[in-house]
A and B are shown apart, each in its own frame.
Chain A
């Protein structure tokens, strides 16, 4: 990243929000911000509610190289900030708040945040995903004490240390390349016999001599006293177990959809992702979903953007036909 990176907050305070919006977007990642751009340009009164930081999962990605238009790649946060600026420029409101309650079935839809009640004609759900936990012994115990899910956040703390990354998908390798700037050695652990990440990322990893690969290995425990000191892995071919001394473990084994706050109002698939049709419509009238949170083949910034545009257009049509 550049030595200076800034994005002066463009949020609106909860007290200053309108009481009614045409479209309320739940989540300020790439899908939500794209919906906001399209919806605001259609002169819909638009609000984005974000609970944490703009950009969602993409914001903590050091470098995004497969989103078209940025041949040298762009940091996830910078891309998100640009989208935010674009959405605000066209009149969208952005607020940082937790949703206290949500009624998707009523018309208008009712959203409560802090002490404010907001009415919306249509809602687009774009609250994305969170990193999936391994659920193995030691994982919870050592979270923040050697176990991390965010290499861009915590990588610099592990300077000069031996660390392991669990999961050899795109996220695991992309963040591995970032973390190699700091660490002494990196052990990549993958449950499957082959690396799942893009070939270009594998080639880049291969240029580093301090990277070891443990394919077809399952991590079974994270060990230590006050801090992580090793991981236990099992060779899935011969079931042999061994301990590998590391002081840090970064976990990239997949995602879970952030749908818990929706309750049982909307139809999900068995993994908790929202079911939509090609118009991004969900099981409820006037409620749309876009991006990583819906059942889809791949979860990339590029696909979230497309979803976001479609969802905004569908929400607009829904409102016009009301």
Chain B
């Protein structure tokens, strides 16, 4: 059975009609022992069928070692949304529930090489000196989470220094335990700053800059 309804497919075809450049969904899986891998694969397959501009490549976490290392993938299911380059957009866990919206919006932004971040945010991101790894823990039933995921992904599009991971908290309990995730969205930046909630853009940016500041000061 299809995961995306016919009505939604019609809407998405129209939306994808606005895409400027091609987008590649790079999907990492393995044959066994992954609860949501099959469903994630099916959802991505259905999406790729909706537009000639969207392609899907599938790799095995263990057997395609070179590719997994290139994209720095250590857990599955994993999805990379890639445009003219790998911007650092990652989904770990199924991009279903409310996170499906994040995936669609990411595809559009990557294709059009633009985000809705403000000029101030873009300027601040352009001055980043150190790599920043933003991990956003979510659940598929959390309505506030896509906002936090999209912020991380848009920042990744705007800055080569930023990598943004969506992590579905219930699929990776070891990570959720490690980061003490008890409320979502929970955002962890370079393991030095963490916060909860769908914060407005200027406040989110402050946290990103705070993480960089701490990184810089700890290294000097």
Residues of A within 8 A of B (CB): 1, 3-9, 11, 13-15, 51-53, 55, 59-60, 62, 76-77, 96-98, 114-115, 143-148, 150, 152-157, 159, 226-227, 248
B170 near A6 with CB under 8 A, answer: no
B4 near A4 with CB under 8 A, answer: yes
B198 at the interface (CB under 8 A from A): yes
Beyond A98-B200, A153-B145, whether A144 also contacts B3 by CB under 8 A is no
The total number of A-B Cβ pairs within 8 Å is 115
B147 at the interface (CB under 8 A from A): yes
Chain B, interface residues (CB within 8 Å), range: 35 or more
Residues of chain A contacted by B176 (CB below 8 angstroms) = 157
Q: Would you list 27 pairs from A and B whose C-beta atoms are within 8 A, ordered by A residue? A: A1-B140, A4-B3, A4-B100, A6-B8, A8-B105, A9-B105, A13-B116, A13-B118, A14-B118, A15-B118, A15-B119, A52-B144, A60-B143, A62-B141, A114-B118, A114-B202, A144-B180, A144-B182, A144-B183, A148-B183, A153-B145, A153-B183, A154-B142, A154-B184, A156-B141, A157-B170, A157-B184
Q: How far is the CA of A155 from the CA of B170 in the complex (A)?
A: 10
B62 at the interface (CB under 8 A from A): no
Q: How far is the CA of A248 from the CA of B183 in the complex (A)?
A: 11
A154 near B139 with CB under 8 A, answer: yes
A157 near B200 with CB under 8 A, answer: no
B200 near A97 with CB under 8 A, answer: yes
Chain B contact residues: over half helix, strand or loop, or mixed? loop
Knowing that A1-B141, A157-B181 touch, tell me 8 more A-B residue pairs with CB under 8 angstroms.
A4-B43, A8-B108, A9-B105, A53-B144, A60-B144, A150-B183, A153-B142, A156-B140
Residues of chain A contacted by B144 (CB below 8 angstroms) = 52-53, 60, 150, 153
Chain A contact residues: over half helix, strand or loop, or mixed? loop
Q: Nearest residue in B to A60 (C-beta to C-beta)?
A: B143
Task: Report B132-143 CB contacts with A as 1/0, cut-off 8 Å.
Answer: 000000011111
Q: How far is the CA of A6 from the CA of B147 in the complex (A)?
A: 13
Residues of chain A contacted by B39 (CB below 8 angstroms) = 3
B215 at the interface (CB under 8 A from A): no
Q: Nearest residue in B to A114 (C-beta to C-beta)?
A: B118
Q: How far is the CA of A55 from the CA of B96 in the complex (A)?
A: 20
- Chain A nearest CB: distance from B193 CB in Å? 14
